[in-house]
Every structure is written in C-alpha cells, then in structure tokens.
C-alpha cells in the first residue's frame, strides 16, 4: 500500500474506490503547486467521472455531493478551510459516505476561526461526514 504524500489523504487506498473532490479556490490560480500536483495525480488514479477540482463552483459541488451520497459513493473532499467554511454558510448536507480532509488554508483570510470552531461549523452543516484531522 503506497502512502499519499502530505495532503491529508493518507491511506485511502485503493484510490479507484473513491471519488476525489479537491475544493481549492486560489490554489489553482497560483499555478503548479505541489499540493495541486499530488491531488491531481490522485484524481487521475481514481478514474471516477465526478472526481476533480471544484473551483468556485458551489452549486455544482452541492449537486455532486448530493448525487454521490444518494448512490453511497465513498468520497473524499480535500479542501482549504476558508473555502469549505464559505460553502458551509450556503449549503447544508448530510454526508454519510464522505470524508473531509484538512489542508489548512486560513492564512491571509479575514476569518480567525480556531480548529474547534471550524469543526463545530462543519459538523453543523455536514452532519455525518467524517473528519480525520
């Protein structure tokens, strides 16, 4: 079993069993960062039609997550904290088959949420989701 490199997606193998959703706002705009490179490689390995980057596509992400939950698809949402907090303000979902991983990403943001506050907000908006952080 090969370990995933430093993305918070450790040990979710085989990748082909998962839909990988990368929820990054500014990372894609910044170009070839190692995080984007690693997650893009996982997305390709998953070979799931709905795996991919969801850049500022809140409605599409909401619809995709609802559909994935309906068919009980194992899903990983790898995200930056401020992006998911913005999403959580607009949408509420029960995510029983979804794991939300931590990549951080509060630097330079106006929000001053600590980890406990972030977890409370996410659990309220995404009941049932697992958070391995």
pLDDT of 12-68, one tens digit each?
667 888 999 988 754 556 666 777 778 888 899 999 999 999 888 899 999 999 999
Round to whole Å and give the CA distance between 109 and 60.
24
Beta-bridged to residue 98, according to DSSP, are 75
| Residue 133 located in a structural domain | no
How far, in whole angstroms, is CA 118 from its chain's centroid?
14
| Residue 10 located in a structural domain | no
| Residue 107 located in a structural domain | yes
In this prediction the pTM is 0.76
Choice between 14 and 76, residue whose per-residue pLDDT is larger: 76
| Residue 26 located in a structural domain | yes
Q: Which residues contact 69 (CB under 8 A, 6 or more apart)?
A: 75, 93, 94, 95, 96, 97, 98
| Residue 94 located in a structural domain | yes
Give DSSP secondary structure letters for 30-83.
T---HHHHHHHHHHHHH--TT-EE-SS-HHHHHHHHHHHHHTT--EEEEE-HHH
Q: Total structural domains in the chain? A: 1
| Residue 64 located in a structural domain | yes
| Residue 131 located in a structural domain | no
| Residue 7 located in a structural domain | no
Q: Residue 89: which domain range?
A: 15-125
pLDDT for residue 12: 62
Choice between 36 and 132, residue whose per-residue pLDDT is larger: 36
């Amino acid at each position: 079993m090969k370990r995933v490199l430093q993305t918070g997606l450790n040990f979710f193998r085989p990748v082909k069993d998962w839909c990988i959703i990368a929820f990054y706002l500014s990372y894609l705009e910044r170009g070839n960062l190692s995080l984007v490179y690693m997650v893009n490689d996982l997305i390709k390995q998953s070979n799931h039609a709905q795996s991919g980057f969801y850049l500022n596509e809140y409605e599409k992400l909401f619809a995709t997550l609802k559909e994935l939950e309906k068919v009980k698809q194992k899903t990983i949402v790898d995200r930056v904290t401020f992006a998911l907090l913005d999403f959580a303000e607009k949408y509420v979902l029960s995510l029983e088959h979804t794991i939300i991983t931590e990549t951080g990403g509060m630097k330079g943001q106006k929000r001053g949420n600590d980890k406990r506050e972030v977890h409370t907000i996410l659990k309220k908006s995404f009941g049932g989701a697992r958070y391995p952080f």
